Structure 1
Amino acid sequence: MSVFTRYANGFFFTPVALGRVAAMRFLAGLFVWIEWWAYKPFIIQHRFLPEDLYQPLFIGRILPIPAPNYWIVTGTLVVMLAAALPVMFGYRPRLFGWILFIAYFEWMLIYNSYGKVDHASFGFMVLLLVLCMMPEARWGDREHLSPRVGWGFNLVQIAVVCTYFLSTWSKFRYGGLEWANSGVFTWAIIRRGTPFSDWMLDFPLLLNAAQWGMIAFELLTPLVLFVYPWKRIQYSIVAFFYAFHVAVFAALTISFLPHLFAMACFLPLERIDPKDLARRARAKLKGGKDTPRRGAPEPAAEMETTG
């Protein structure tokens, strides 16, 4: 077996704790509720649009999906929100996971079929699909490891990286190499600038350098996949990704929130146990001694030393 094959098998089938599945299911359902209310509340307004404005994506032209109307848009939202709740709390997660994925798929088809296609939800849609095929899991479970879970989350990680990497391909496809020397960032700041970015309009060379930096950043993002054996390095890169999006939001108020939720699958969320955290908080409030959670190993006794 070649070194590349061993490395690829190690990446794709690295066992991951089931506790991360429970955490990601909660985050996925939580985002669905956040999206319709705060992130993209305007999608529900599509129920009032005339059908002749509907320009379905390729997948919408292949599948026999009717044009959105009042009842289709409203019904899709109701089903999506209703399915998100049991997924969040681990009740029949596969059944309701499939319902949630299908409803969210239609929700995104409605959103992207009126002239604007948003790539920020690609990784999140892959996450919803993967979670449908994950086993049942509970918070804080670090003992049970599954190569299938590792395989699924690695697919989400690849989708997250493709969101960055293919973005550069799209820039070059439609704007050519001149995109990096164009006035894209200048136009963006004029249109959506904030006090954190308006000052950059006085430094056009800095804006061009930032555009080249953006391209370099997006092309180098696949590195986060190849450093998987060195978790501290991988977590540092993921932290940089999050910091990058915080900076973009501060400068241009552009948010990639579904992408950020999907990117959480890189993180060791299996270490989080809400019940254990609540127990510790109650113990601190009462001023009592913290007791180990059920099933946790007893602390080792101190060894006596002799002179």
Structure 2
Amino acid sequence: MERSVSRLRGWLFEPAPLARVALLRVVVYAFVIVDVVFLHTSGWYHGFADPVWYEPLVAGRLLHLPAATLVLVEVLKWGSVAGAVVAITGRFPRAAGWFVALTWSWYQYVAFSYGKVDHDRGDFVLALLLLPTVGLAHLDDKRLSEAAGFALRAVQLGAIATYFLSSVAKLRFGGPEWVNSATLVRAVVRRGTPIGELFLHTPWLLHVGQWVIVGAELLSWVIFVLPERWRRLMVLAWYLFHAGVYATITIAFWPHLVMMLAFLPLEQYRDRVVAWWRHRRSGEVGPSSLPAPDPTATP
């Protein structure tokens, strides 16, 4: 028992490079800005809604959160943007990070207290809460940190739980009919693209696709037992899956896609890109790019 607990702790707190967390932070906080300003702005117009339509979620009932007002949503919206700008710079990583976690999460809460709740944002909230716990981390920081390892591992677990629990919900509320009915056909009819509409001529492919989706989500936890190379390929497969979903029915789980980056060695990819760029730049001024000497010129 003691050995099992020790192994579990070693897995949860496996040291990770601080540079990986620093890079993930930049992407996360940049996405907060893009999301609030361009993608998910429904929290803003709920400030105009009559409070009678406000139906507090569990968090709202526990924390006694009030109904949205114009002043509240403006403070949350632009507060999260301003906090994200500061957090991207790496200054005040804890204070700025937790400020963004508070304002962005509350802004999402406002959006979801008047309608459906998007399940693709749970792991993003988890990341906003955990990344500040790592503290100071520079983009070129090669030190290993247990705090960084735990934050990344927790985000990974949250991302995979999003897949797994999504399939559980499908089977819980839709039952076997979710995979045996015309679920995807209906989705394509409602919001399909020209690419998606092509599949209406072969509906059996959409039927098979429903089984593939549920099966892949139920087996998503396998990523934790795969070798590193196969783990990266599985992440690539999930990205390709989401690209296909967006191409056919224009549904994208943007914050979840950002969280899947926690599985990847971002600092290694950054170093490769930098090395390639430096090599390219040096090639432009190398001997092969210089003009040939004039043979008629005097020495």
* CA distances 1:239-274 after superposition (whole Å, capped 9, x unpaired): 111111111111110010100111111111123269
* 2:208 matched residue in structure 1: 209
**Distance apart, 1:187 and its partner CA:** 0.8
* 2:245 matched residue in structure 1: 248
- CA distance in 2: counterparts of 1:203 and 1:2, whole angstroms: 55
- CA distance in 2: counterparts of 1:82 and 1:34, whole angstroms: 12
Letter aligned with residue 160 of structure 1: A
Contact 2:84 2:100 in 1 (8 A): yes
Give structure 1 stretches of 5+ with no counterpart: 290-307
Matched pairs, number: 286
Contact 1:139 1:273 in 2 (8 A): no
Q: Are 1:134 and 2:140 counterparts?
A: no
* 1:123 matched residue in structure 2: 123
**Distance apart, 1:284 and its partner CA:** 3.9
TM value normalised by structure 1 = 0.87
Return structure 1 stretches of 4+ with deviation > 4 angstroms.
1-7, 273-279
Which of 264, 267, 270 does residue 270 from structure 1 map onto? Answer: 267
TM value normalised by structure 2 = 0.89
Q: Are 1:280 and 2:278 counterparts?
A: yes
Identity among equivalent positions (%) equals 34
More helix by share: 2
* 1:188 matched residue in structure 2: 187
* CA distances 1:175-213 after superposition (whole Å, capped 9, x unpaired): 112211122111100011112111211223222111111
- CA distance in 2: counterparts of 1:9 and 1:76, whole angstroms: 37
* 2:61 matched residue in structure 1: 61
**Distance apart, 1:92 and its partner CA:** 0.6
* 2:42 matched residue in structure 1: 42
Give structure 2 stretches of 5+ with no counterpart: 288-299
* RMSD, aligned α-carbons: 2.3
Letter aligned with residue 104 of structure 2: Y
* 1:296 matched residue in structure 2: none
| Aligned 1:133-172 pairs, distance under 5 A | 133-142=133-142, 144-172=143-171
Letter aligned with residue 219 of structure 1: L
From the superposition, tell whether residues 222 and 274 of structure 1 become closer, same or farther in structure 2 (CA, over 3 Å): closer
Contact 1:20 1:139 in 2 (8 A): yes
From the superposition, tell whether residues 287 and 167 of structure 1 become closer, same or farther in structure 2 (CA, over 3 Å): same
Contact 1:195 1:251 in 2 (8 A): yes
Letter aligned with residue 233 of structure 2: S
SS state at 2:37 partner: helix
- CA distance in 2: counterparts of 1:282 and 1:56, whole angstroms: 55
Contact 1:172 1:179 in 2 (8 A): yes
From the superposition, tell whether residues 75 and 233 of structure 1 become closer, same or farther in structure 2 (CA, over 3 Å): same
